Amino acid sequence: MMDPALDSAVRSRAQDKCEYCLLPQSVLRLRFQIEHVIARQHGGLDRLDNLALACGRCNRHKGPNLAGIDHDTGQMTRLFNPRTDRWAEHFRWDGPRVIGATPIGRATIAVLVMNHEDDIAVRLELIESRRFPPAY
């Protein structure tokens, strides 16, 4: 069980948005999860600098993965790290779709399935209600 103060600090820093796909917590019933950027099995610690807030889909698909394949280059590429990378350097919006601007962005989108049709539908609704895309 996570220390309540650490849990609160992660959620506050993330402004209640998934730190990978930027989906706001307010649109889903299930509480977003705190995930280890570097999984425990790879030596990751329960420290603020190794924790991120993630929606269920991003967390499930990321799992303990540290890398994926950038299909443009065919190269193994590390995944986006919300603690050390800037979202806007690796991703951009094309309407409701997340587009990878770098190999890191493209590999992360593929591994985390960030453009799942259900997420695109939610983002379209948020765009129509002028609640999306969020500032990053």
Q: What residue spans define the domains of the chain?
A: 4-128
Of 77, 78, 30, the closest CA to residue 53 belongs to 30
User: How many Cα atoms occupy the beta-carbon half-sphere of 135 within 13 Å?
Assistant: 1
Chain centroid to CA 35: how far?
10
- Residue 21's pLDDT is what? 96
pLDDT score of 23: 93
Angle at 35 between CA 27 and CA 93, to 5 degrees: 50
Residue 133, pLDDT score: 78
Per DSSP, the three-state class of 62 is: helix
The CA distance from 111 to 79, in Å, is: 8
Residue ranges, the chain, pLDDT below 50? none
From the CB of residue 23, how many other CB atoms can be counted at a distance below 10 Å?
23
Which pLDDT score, from 0 to 100, does residue 27 have?
A: 86
Give the pLDDT of residue 113: 98
**Three-state DSSP class for 26?**
helix
Looking at residue 30, its pLDDT comes to 87
What is the reported pTM? 0.93
Provide the pLDDT for residue 130.
86
